[in-house]
C-alpha cells in the first residue's frame, strides 16, 4: 500500500521476481478494461477522468475473478492497488478465504506527498494531470488511510520507508517479507 506514485508498482515487480508470486495490479486491470472499451472500462474511465476511485463492488469483482485463477492459488499473490478501503479489505479476507489462502500481511510504502506528485507528473500517464493527482491524493487521505488502521489493529501492517533508491527500498521490503513468510 501507499500513496499513488510511492513506487508500489515498481517494487511489486521486483518482489514477484524475488519470491515467485503473482503480481496483480488493479490499476493495470482497470486500464486494460478502458483500452478494450468494455462497459466496465467505460464506467471506470469516467470515474478515473474525474480523479475518483472506482467503486468497491466493481473492483472487488475484478479482483475476486483474478485471485481464483490457478496461478495465484498455486504461487500466492502480491496485490498492487488493492485493497484501498476497509470494506475492500474485508472483501479480500473473504475472497482469499474462499480459495484457501490466508492474508499474510500488508506493506505500506511511506513517501511524502510532494515526492509522489513529482513522480506521478514525470511518468506522463493520461490520467495523471496535477489536478487529478491532487484529487486522488485527497481521496487517499480521506478514504484509504483508514485502511492502515484496519491492518494495524490486526497486527498485519508493516510500514516501509519508501525514500531512497529502488534497491534501498527493495532491501527494506525483502527484510520484512522474509519475516512475514518465515
Active site residue 14: no
Single pTM value for the model: 0.77
Active site residue 84: yes
Does the pLDDT at position 141 exceed 80?
A: yes
pLDDT of 67? 86
Note the pLDDT tens digit of each residue in 68-102.
889 988 898 899 888 988 889 999 999 988 878 88
Task: Tell me the domain boundaries of the chain.
Answer: 8-174
CATH number for 8-174: choose from 3.40.50.300, 3.90.1150.10, 3.40.140.10, 3.30.300.30.
3.40.50.300
Average pLDDT of the chain, as a whole number: 88
Name the active-site residue from 31, 84, 158, 172. 84
Active site residue 123: yes
Name the active-site residue from 3, 136, 158, 172. 136
Q: Residue 89: which of 143, 159, 138 has the closest Cα? A: 143
Question: Locate cell 511489486: which residue?
Answer: 12
Active site residue 136: yes
Active site residue 172: no
Query: What integer is the mean pLDDT of 143-165?
Result: 92
Under 8 Å between Cβ of 135 and 51: yes
Query: Cell for 166?
Result: 529502488
pLDDT of 177? 94
Name the active-site residue from 8, 31, 158, 172. 8
Segments in the chain forming alpha helices (H)? 8-19, 26-36, 39-49, 56-67, 70-75, 86-98, 113-123, 130-139, 145-153, 166-181
The contacts of residue 101 (CB under 8 Å, 6+ apart) are 67, 72, 73, 76, 77
Burial of residue 175 (CB within 10 Å: 0-12, 13-18, 19+) is exposed
- State the Cα–Cα distance between residues 85 and 147, nearest whole angstrom: 5
- State the Cα–Cα distance between residues 147 and 145, nearest whole angstrom: 5
What CA–CA distances, in Å, run from 109 to 152, 165, 172, 173? 14, 13, 10, 9
Amino acid at each position: 500500500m501507499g500513496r499513488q506514485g510511492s513506487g508500489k508498482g515498481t517494487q511489486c515487480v521486483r518482489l514477484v521476481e524475488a519470491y515467485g508470486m503473482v503480481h496483480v495490479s488493479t490499476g493495470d486491470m482497470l486500464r486494460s478494461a478502458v483500452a478494450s472499451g468494455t462497459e466496465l472500462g467505460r464506467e471506470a474511465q469516467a470515474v478515473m477522468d474525474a480523479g475518483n476511485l472506482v467503486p468497491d463492488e466493481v473492483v472487488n469483482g475484478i479482483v475476486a475473478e483474478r485471485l481464483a485463477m490457478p496461478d495465484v492459488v498455486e504461487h500466492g499473490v502480491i496485490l498492487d492497488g488493492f485493497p484501498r478501503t476497509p470494506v475492500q479489505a474485508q472483501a479480500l479476507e473473504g475472497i482469499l478465504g474462499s480459495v484457501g489462502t490466508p492474508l499474510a500481511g500488508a506493506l505500506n510504502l511511506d513517501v511524502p506527498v510532494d515526492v509522489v506528485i513529482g513522480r506521478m507528473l514525470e511518468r506522463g500517464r493520461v490520467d495523471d494531470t496535477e489536478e487529478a493527482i491532487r484529487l486522488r491524493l485527497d481521496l487517499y487521505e480521506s478514504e484509504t488511510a483508514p485502511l492502515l488502521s484496519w491492518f494495524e489493529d490486526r497486527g498485519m501492517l508493516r510500514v516501509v520507508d519508501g525514500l531512497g533508491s529502488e534497491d534501498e527500498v527493495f532491501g527494506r521490503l525483502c527484510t520484512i517479507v522474509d519475516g512475514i513468510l518465515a
